[in-house]
Amino acid sequence: MRITFLLVFALPVLGACKLPPEPTLDNPYDLGGDYFVFPPKDVRIYSQYYSVVTITWSQGSSKSSSGFIVERSVNEQPFERVDSLDIQSVFFVDNTVKTQYSYRYRVRSIFGNGSVGTPSEVLGIVYRIRGTTSYPVLTGLSGNITALGFNWTSELISAADDNGVVRTWSIYIGTVTGGTSLSVGAPITSLRYAPNNDTFVMGVQDSSLRFSSGQRIATPSVPTQLDWGFGGMIACGFQDGKIRIYDSNTKQLTRTIDAHAGAVSSLRFSPDGLSFASSASDGLLKLWNAASFTLMQSAPSAPTSTLAFTADSRQVAVVDTAAGSATWYDVEDLTPTKTLSTGIEALRWLGIGSDNFTTVAVGENPSWKVWEHLGDREFLLPSATLPALTLAAISPSSRFVLLGGANGYVQPWLFDNGWKAVN
């Protein structure tokens, strides 16, 4: 009988990775991509950052056992029992400690009478190390980066600057190729890809919307922020405080909303597509119904350049640039639920990955930070000299982070190195 004990949590991608019935030490299984399975006799995990671990072991003769315990040895120290909470915390290296750790695990059966069996043999392990790998700085833009975006498959990246140029590349694990440019003749304020194809739309300071196809729509005011919802709906926030809804298929204005008393600074659809949030220089956060376009909730907030929904659409984060913090609000009544003090000077942008696990913030000194579980734990980033950053983008797959700054600085990072195994 084979039992699988999952440490931390099971991600959806792991469900597609089925362990072979009986791998051998001399014949490890390569399941393709970043999936590997093998049965080490002595499980050791070396991680400068942290891991998510699945251990598979044989129950052997302990078929009547009523439970299991896991024991861990750190850096060759004696084995000690750990529960799931301890197992979770072990993978996070303190920011002041950058040496590698060696973790060894073993499993014991617990019988009905309370006795504990001998350690079972560990048959195999699949684990995930999340680290960062930088790509070369991309070239072709010279102005300050004002907008970044990924397409829906996370295979295309686009960056736009205040010189009115947008450049697009193809990105893969380990390489970035191509680099095509489109000039619109005026500073670009925002850019968003369609949720289901490779088309993008931009807001331009000459009071227009521009599509990647080259089409131009004249607008009554300067578009400051926009987002692309489902059904071809594009919601645009404007300098005059209004939100205007456009049909991406007909390229027609379908609705105008008197939204704010000041310029709209951020606008985002919820991941479920049922609502969208807006903020503005009037210091109000507003939540709108995406079907009726009626106001659902309104609450005071810091004027902000960034809004970010959690993946479950239940909370929206608002950046307070001056305070260097982000506050999460419950969408039911826009009451604040938590505040994250980032420690970043001149905080410019914050985003939440579609995995609802990755939170990225950029600004100055330090230029960027990453947290897990919506700011609960800070991720240890490798040391790198980066310029002051103005914004970033997280890919829909949550595997890539694209950073942007002054003087055409654009650099992708592979933020998740996938599932690995070592002996």
| CATH superfamily ID and name for 134-415 | YVTN repeat-like/Quinoprotein amine dehydrogenase (2.130.10.10)
Structural contact between residues 244 and 234, judged by C-beta atoms closer than 8 angstroms: no
Rounded (5°) CA angle 214-219-224: 90
Please, which pLDDT band fits residue 2 given cuts at 50, 70 and 90?
A: very low
Structural contact between residues 292 and 257, judged by C-beta atoms closer than 8 angstroms: no
Please, which pLDDT band fits residue 174 given cuts at 50, 70 and 90?
A: confident
pLDDT at 12: 26
pLDDT at 399: 82
Q: What is the pLDDT of residues 288-336, one digit of tens each?
A: 999 999 999 999 988 877 899 998 899 999 999 889 999 999 999 999 9
Q: H-type helices in 263-414, by residue range?
A: none
Structural contact between residues 188 and 146, judged by C-beta atoms closer than 8 angstroms: yes
pTM: predicted TM-score of the whole model, two decimal places:
0.72
Mean pLDDT within 105-114:
54
Strongest mean pLDDT among 23-32, 90-99, 178-187? 178-187
Structural contact between residues 281 and 303, judged by C-beta atoms closer than 8 angstroms: yes
Element spanning 233, H or E:
strand 233-238
Q: What is the pLDDT of residues 42-78, one digit of tens each?
A: 333 333 333 333 333 333 333 333 455 566 666 567 7
**Could you tell me if residue 312 is left (phi over 0), alpha (psi between -120 and 50 degrees) or otherwise beta?**
alpha
Contacts of 27 (CB under 8 A, 6+ apart): none
Cα–Cα nearest to 331, from 364, 372, 298? 298
Q: Is the dihedral of CA 397, 251, 191, 289 positive or negative?
A: negative
Q: Output the DSSP codes for 157-202.
A: EEEEETTSEEEEEEEETTEEEEEEEEE-SS-EEEEEE-SSSS-EEE
Q: Which DSSP symbol is given to 151?
A: -
Length of the chain: 423
Q: Where do the structural domains in the chain lie, given as residue ranges? A: 2-129, 134-415
Q: Which DSSP symbol is given to 27?
A: B
Number of helices (H), then strands (E), belonging to the chain: the values are: 2, 38
In this predicted structure, the answer to whether residue 286 has a pLDDT above a threshold of 80 is yes
Mean pLDDT within 237-263:
97
Q: Which residues pair with 150 in a beta bridge?
A: 157
